[in-house]
Structure 1
Amino acid sequence: MNRGYTEEVLSMPGARNVSCDLEHITQTLNWLVRMTSDVETNIVAVERIKEYGEAPQEAAWEIPNKNPPPIWPDQGSVQFKNYAVRYRPGLDLVLKGVDFHIKGGEKVGIVGRTGAGKSSLTLSLFRIIEAAEGSIFIDGINIGELGLHTLRSRLTIIPQDAVLFSGSLRMNLDPFDTHSDEEVWKALEQAHLKEFIKGLTAGLQHEVTEGGENLSVGQRQLICLARALLRKNEDEATAAVDLETDDLIQKTIRTEFKNCTVLTIAHRLNTIMDSDRIIVLDKGQIAEFDTPSNLLANSESIFFGMCRDAGIA
């Protein structure tokens, strides 16, 4: 009885219209939900543009009346005066009252436990982060008064993570095209890459993929070393590579940068044992600053404890 009544109702023209209307409403609601989701996704781009537009800007790229002499830095002395820095307003200081002087041509190792402030010291030299207090002087010039390009173009770094861009190998070595091919090949030879590059079909025009993914980690690091050799100023060496590549890097630094001031952030303590002096950072402050031999002679020093833990002392 009930089944027949249902079939009779559904067979009526009005019931068919109700069914069509329900289907149309369902499609409309599905479309509305999909459009709402698309708007929500796309509005993220607007939020990012707003965020970047309101972000604090870096210092001026060039300051014409503050340009140092063309040969600066010619001595390579580095002085931190009561220097302190934080990553953004409201955060704690990551370097506090750092005060030291490095003579021109000195080889200085920088060590410390994780979070001691080693990388922050390097970021400060390049003004990736700006001073909260104090100043840094290179050859008597306050780097805080220079344009960023003026400063960064006079310093050289071999970063812990090799930075390469998609493009030719030559472009990665000499991005501003300021050196001749002969100088580039000489730098490659000093970095122990000459034979490898010669073996490539395209040579210096070999296409490097984004991030250097078509090269090994060691080769990427040696390319960064060759790039530094083309400039020869200030240097941070790294150890995020295999031991053989690290030995090549350290050997090249000792020979080719012998007249430069070299700051080495040590990830393997044996790479800085022949440094002129060692800076030991602890909680953003300089805990020790002396020659390796003097620090090792003191069994109570932090450096001695680190060497003992590493099996060196």
Structure 2
Amino acid sequence: MTVSLFRLIEALSGSIIIDGTNVNDIGLHDLRSRITILPQDPVLFSGSLRMNLDPFDTYDDPTLWRALEHAHLKAFVQGTQTGLQYQCGEGGQNLSVGQRQLVCLARSLLRKTRILVLDEATAAVDMETDDLIQATIRSQFTDCTVLTIAHRLNTIMDYDRIMVLANGEIKELDTPAALLEDKNSMFYSMAKDANLV
């Protein structure tokens, strides 16, 4: 789904329509600049924290600090001697996986596009960091469309709609409540396996 949404591979048939616009009718740069992805594996580069947050030097320091605060990293960064100039090692090796993911979350907060894709964004982090990320998404992306690819069902139980995919096909699409009412649904079976019902 993500590959199709970002048009990494062009579709042979069908279409994805967002807000009445077919994504195939938009230039690739425009399309990709309007969608933010928070991937499973956080990506950081060698260089300052500021550069990792704002590689094109678009935002002022107060805006960066607000993003760090919402991403629950402000106290950590303030605790370093260099603040926003804190040097991230190759791939962010001097940060924990959770901290790297929170840096990516702060980057997403700065971009604040209307569409946010969470591609198993919390799969590699502990439950505490998962809760922090989910709380930030619920409070800071209320006016955005959030597409979440998840196997931890507890993180999506309050979402508007659930799409269950199998072998590249949509098997179920409805509200969580409706899918849980049907004890024969795939989603109910998955929720039962996760001890959520």
Q: Measure the CA separation in 2 of the matches of 1:169 and 1:197.
A: 9
| Structure 1 position 271, deviation (Å) | 0.2
Aligned pair 1:195/2:79, yes or no? no
Which digits, 9 at most, give the CA deviation of each residue in 1:133-186, with x for residues without a partner? 112122222222322221111111111110111111111111111111111110
Give the corresponding residue for 2:8: 128
Give the corresponding residue for 2:65: 185
Give the corresponding residue for 1:260: 144
Q: Measure the CA separation in 1 of the matches of 2:117 and 2:158.
A: 15
Deviates more, 1:206-215 or 1:138-147: 138-147
Give the corresponding residue for 2:170: 286
Which digits, 9 at most, give the CA deviation of each residue in 1:235-276, with x for residues without a partner? 223222110000000000000001111111112100000001
8 Å Cα contact 2:50-2:85 kept in structure 1: yes
The one-letter code sitting in structure 2 at the alignment partner of 1:164 is L
The one-letter code sitting in structure 2 at the alignment partner of 1:256 is Q
Aligned pair 1:138/2:22, yes or no? no
Give the corresponding residue for 1:151: 31
8 Å Cα contact 2:51-2:57 kept in structure 1: yes
Q: Measure the CA separation in 2 of the matches of 1:132 and 1:211.
A: 36
Identity of aligned residues (%): 64
Give the corresponding residue for 1:236: 117
Q: TM-score, normalised by structure 2?
A: 0.94
The one-letter code sitting in structure 1 at the alignment partner of 2:134 is Q
Larger radius of gyration: 1
The one-letter code sitting in structure 1 at the alignment partner of 2:126 is D
3-state SS in 2 of match to 1:165: coil
1:48-67 aligned at under 5 Å gives the runs: none
Q: Measure the CA separation in 2 of the matches of 1:164 and 1:267.
A: 24
8 Å Cα contact 2:42-2:101 kept in structure 1: yes
The one-letter code sitting in structure 2 at the alignment partner of 1:290 is D
Give the corresponding residue for 1:205: 85
Q: Measure the CA separation in 2 of the matches of 1:125 and 1:248.
A: 27
Q: Measure the CA separation in 2 of the matches of 1:249 and 1:310.
A: 20
Q: Measure the CA separation in 1 of the matches of 2:28 and 2:89.
A: 28
Q: Determine which of 31, 36, 52 is the counterpart of 1:172.
A: 52
3-state SS in 1 of match to 2:35: coil
Q: Measure the CA separation in 2 of the matches of 1:223 and 1:128.
A: 25
Q: Measure the CA separation in 2 of the matches of 1:243 and 1:182.
A: 29
How many residue pairs were aligned? 193
Q: Measure the CA separation in 1 of the matches of 2:187 and 2:4.
A: 23
Q: Measure the CA separation in 1 of the matches of 2:70 and 2:43.
A: 19
Q: Determine which of 255, 274, 299 is the counterpart of 2:183.
A: 299
8 Å Cα contact 2:35-2:117 kept in structure 1: no
Give the corresponding residue for 1:30: none
Aligned pair 1:310/2:194, yes or no? yes
The one-letter code sitting in structure 2 at the alignment partner of 1:258 is T
Structure 1, unpaired ranges of 5+: 1-120
The one-letter code sitting in structure 2 at the alignment partner of 1:182 is P
3-state SS in 2 of match to 1:275: coil
The one-letter code sitting in structure 2 at the alignment partner of 1:181 is D
RMSD: 1.1
